[in-house]
Amino acid sequence: MKKQLSQRGLISKSWLRFLIIILLVIGVFFRFVNLDKKIYWGDEVFSSLRISGYMLSEMNEQLSNGRLFSIEDLHKYQYPNPQKNTIDTIKGIILEDSQILPLYILMTRFWVEWFGNSVAVTRSFSAFISLLTFPCLYWLCQELFESSLIGWIAIALVAVSPVHVVYAQEARAYSLWIVAILISSIALLRAMRLKTKVSWCIYAATLSLGFYTHIFFTFVAFAQGIYVIAIERFRLSKTSIYYLLSLLAGFITFIPWISIIITHPQPQAVDWANVKQTLFASAARWAGIFSRTFLDLSINSSEPGKLKIALIPFILIILALIIYSIYVLCRRTSKEVWLFVLTLIGSVGLPLLLVDFVFQKRYATSRYTLPSVLGIQLAVAYLLTTKITSISTQVWQKRLWSLVTFMLIMGGVISCMLYSQAQIWWNKYPEKYQEYPKIAQIISQGNKPLIISDTANILPPIQVLGYLVDPKVRFQIVEKNQLPEITNGFTDIFLFLFEPSDFLKAGIEKVYNSKLQQINHFVWKIIKST
């Protein structure tokens, strides 16, 4: 490896590192800028409910008695409070969200207790954790490639990678998962190199960390096992035995939560993935997942067709670059290197690919394929470094690959700039939530507005809306198939129904002699008949 890299190039290594440090500063800036500007969407309000220690059933019972309440009352179920402690948080996860591993939720709860209740503070924990990606990535490149320069290039790619910035600003466990993947990868390579009991114990500890971070870390651990067995040529060597013992130790620590998942299953949590999709839709979805690693303009299904067509050449170029990077990696590196990267790419990517194309599901999302994204970025970092600095590369080729590197970096910077100024992005399901800011603006314009809804719409719809409307807005929630007792004193009364309720609409019109003026798909204004 080291022989392939040369001090000679179009730019000195010291200047290259200086430019990468600038990119690193830019990447850190994008991770923290406008943290509270993005809509606080459904998955995040579920995270906050878990952080608060309240259960969904408790919230529904306490808010759906028909009384009037304010945004402060609504936020009681979004932030830590004296009425609920850490045990309540764990209890809520066990009973209502067992597929959500507890480590991130508990760490974020402590973070919010220390720094205050706000969207920016809650999201800042993910942003802060994402900073650990950089030293871990550099260390991994040292262990894998024995090259600091590849580590620097990898840091540059990740610093302005749109998908990394997007999930660094989300109140979910994805940033922590990325760090857990990198730490376990470093620990595995180090243990295989040192072959000491202490190093394998450290690896076992990183497995435990990963298991309690994200449910799909099990795929990563399984892929690491395939890597070890393949490197050891399917022999029961000392390294293989130590790996199995480390895996067993890490797995034993996870058994208590496995029993919780089995005894408290939450099948409705993945209902969204059971929608059938065509092979073409699956292919387009996967192309979007991988291209967002370097370029992301937040193109989704609701965007105009011409814009999607215009992006096709860029997406194809990125996909071609990814495939070529993997090809070069496999041709020019040892089995210990290329096999590790391939198993990382395939750890979660391959199972999801099979599910999507064989069963025509849509489980694949950018947040689930983050291990694959990391593997791709390692391969691309290797390609760019060798092409720019290799002795065998001609000057014109170095210039060409320097241009490719520049274009990749600029694509990431432009993507991050657009993301930093947007209120809603593709990861927050714009087809569902893009109307919320408009709804909030309409409702907040009233002097004394009231929002009426039922329990089917509290979480996430009402909670999401609660982060957007003016503090003067009041809420009134009733049980399903019950009518509210509409009080006087409000200048503007709105019916908000993300989940349809013909009973509530018809009942208000009939019982209160009112008409419903539809504002959009989810909101009706109640107008009393004269």
Predicted pLDDT of residue 285: 87
Cβ neighbourhood burial of 303 (10 Å; 0-12, 13-18, 19+): middle
- The Cα–Cα gap between 293 and 401 comes to 18
Q: Determine the pLDDT at residue 364.
A: 79
Helices and strands in the chain, H and E counts: 23, 6
Give the tokens for residue 305: 């067709």
Q: Say if residues 524 and 516 touch (Cβ distance below 8 Å).
A: yes
User: Does residue 181 sit in the same domain as residue 273?
Assistant: yes
Whole-number average pLDDT of the chain: 91
9 occurs within a structural domain: no
Q: Above 50 in pLDDT, residue 4? A: no
Which residues are registered as beta bridge partners of 523?
A: 496
Give the pLDDT score at 9.
Answer: 45
12 pLDDT tier (thresholds 50, 70, 90): low
Using the predicted structure, report yes or no on whether residue 481 has a pLDDT greater than 90: no
Is the separation of the CB atoms in 155 and 134 below 8 Å? yes
Question: Using H for helix, E for strand and C for coil, what is the string for 131-145?
Answer: CCHHHHHHHHHHHHH
Residue 459 in contact with residue 47, Cβ under 8 Å? no
Over residues 470-482, the mean pLDDT reads 92
> pLDDT digits over 218-253, tens only?
999 999 999 999 999 999 999 999 999 999 999 999
Beta-carbon contacts of 224 under 8 Å, excluding residues fewer than 6 positions away, are: 184, 185, 188, 243, 343, 347
Domain assignment of residue 7, yes or no: no
Same domain, residue pair 464 and 336: no
Q: How far apart are CA 318 and CA 320, in angstroms?
A: 5
Q: Are 151 and 7 in contact (CB under 8 A)?
A: no
Residue 488 lies in a domain: yes
On whether both 265 and 328 belong to a single domain, the answer is yes
Q: Are residues 449 and 360 in the same domain?
A: no
Lowest mean pLDDT among 38-47, 273-282, 308-317, 394-403: 273-282
Q: Is residue 337 scored above 50 in pLDDT?
A: yes
The closest alpha carbon to 389, from 173, 51, 149, belongs to 149
Structure confidence by residue, pLDDT tens digits, 144-178: 999 999 999 999 999 999 999 999 999 999 999 99
Query: Is 146 found in the same domain as 211?
Result: yes
Cα gap 43→463, rounded to integer Å: 11
- The amino acid occupying position 188 is L
| Over residues 264-276, mean pLDDT | 73
Residues 421 and 504 in one domain: no
Q: What sign for the dihedral angle of Cα 196, 198, 202, 203?
A: positive
Q: How confident is the model at residue 304 (pLDDT cuts 50, 70, 90)?
A: low
What percent of the chain is helix, strand and coil (3-state, nearest 5)?
A: 65, 5, 30
Q: What are phi and psi of 450, to 5 degrees?
A: -130, 135
Residues 48, 79 contacting (CB under 8 angstroms): yes
Mean pLDDT of 84-108: 95
Q: For residue 72, what pLDDT band results from cuts at 50, 70 and 90?
A: very high
Q: Is 60 part of a structural domain of the chain?
A: yes
Of these ranges, 44-58, 356-370, 493-507, the one predicted with the greatest mean pLDDT is 44-58
Question: Does pLDDT of 2 surpass 90?
Answer: no
Q: At how many degrees (to 10) do helices 335-358 and 279-291 cross?
A: 140
Return d(Cα 528, Cα 530) in angstroms, integer. Answer: 6
3-state secondary structure of 234: coil
Query: In the chain, what percentage of residues exceed pLDDT 70?
Result: 95
Other beta carbons within 10 angstroms of residue 346's beta carbon come to 17
Is residue 378 domain-resident? yes
pLDDT of residue 158: 98
Mean pLDDT of 341-359: 92
Of 428, 443, 471, which closes a domain?
428
- For residues 270 and 412, state if they share a domain: yes
Pairing outcome for strands 474-478 and 523-528? unpaired
The string of DSSP codes covering 395-432 is HHHHHHHHHHHHHHHHHHHHHHHHHHH-S--GGG-HHH
110/134 same-domain check? no
Please give the distance of CA 401 from its chain centroid, rounded to a whole number.
31
Tell me, yes or no, whether 406 and 512 share the same domain. Answer: no
Helix axes 197-211, 238-263, angle to 10 degrees: 20
What total of structural domains would you count in the chain? 2
Q: Which of 394, 428, 462 is the last residue of a domain?
A: 428
**CB count, 10 Å around CB of 173?**
26
Is 95 a domain residue?
Answer: yes
Give the up-direction half-sphere exposure of residue 523: CA atoms within 13 A in the CB hemisphere: 21
When mean pLDDT is compared across 59-68, 397-406, 491-500, 521-530, the lowest value belongs to: 521-530
Tell which of 397, 428, 459 closes a domain.
428
Question: Does residue 332 fall inside a structural domain?
Answer: yes
Please say if the pLDDT value at position 195 is more than 90.
yes
The domain of 486 spans 42-117+435-528
- Hey, which of 299-308, 415-424, 491-500, 519-528 has the most confident mean pLDDT? 415-424
Band of pLDDT at residue 485, cut at 50, 70 and 90: confident
Q: Kindly state whether residues 110 and 173 are assigned to the same domain.
A: no
Whether residue 179 sits in one domain with residue 214: yes
Tokens 């690491």, residue located: 224
Per-residue pLDDT at 305? 62
Q: What is the pLDDT of residues 384-420, one digit of tens each?
A: 999 988 777 788 888 899 999 999 999 999 999 999 9
DSSP string, 173-199: SHHHHHHHHHHHHHHHHHHHHH--HHH
Answer whether residue 98 shows pLDDT above 50: yes
d(CA 92, CA 49): 9
Residue 221 falls inside a structural domain? yes
Write down the pLDDT at residue 273: 66
Q: Indicate the pLDDT class of residue 369, thresholds 50, 70 and 90.
A: very high
Of the ranges 99-108, 276-285, 513-522, the best mean pLDDT one: 99-108
pTM of structure = 0.93
Whether residues 113 and 183 share a domain: the answer is no
- Cβ-proximal residues to 303 (8 Å cutoff; 6+ apart), any chain: none
**Does residue 528 register a pLDDT over 90?**
no
Record the tokens describing residue 170, joined without a space: 């989300």
Residue 6 pLDDT = 40
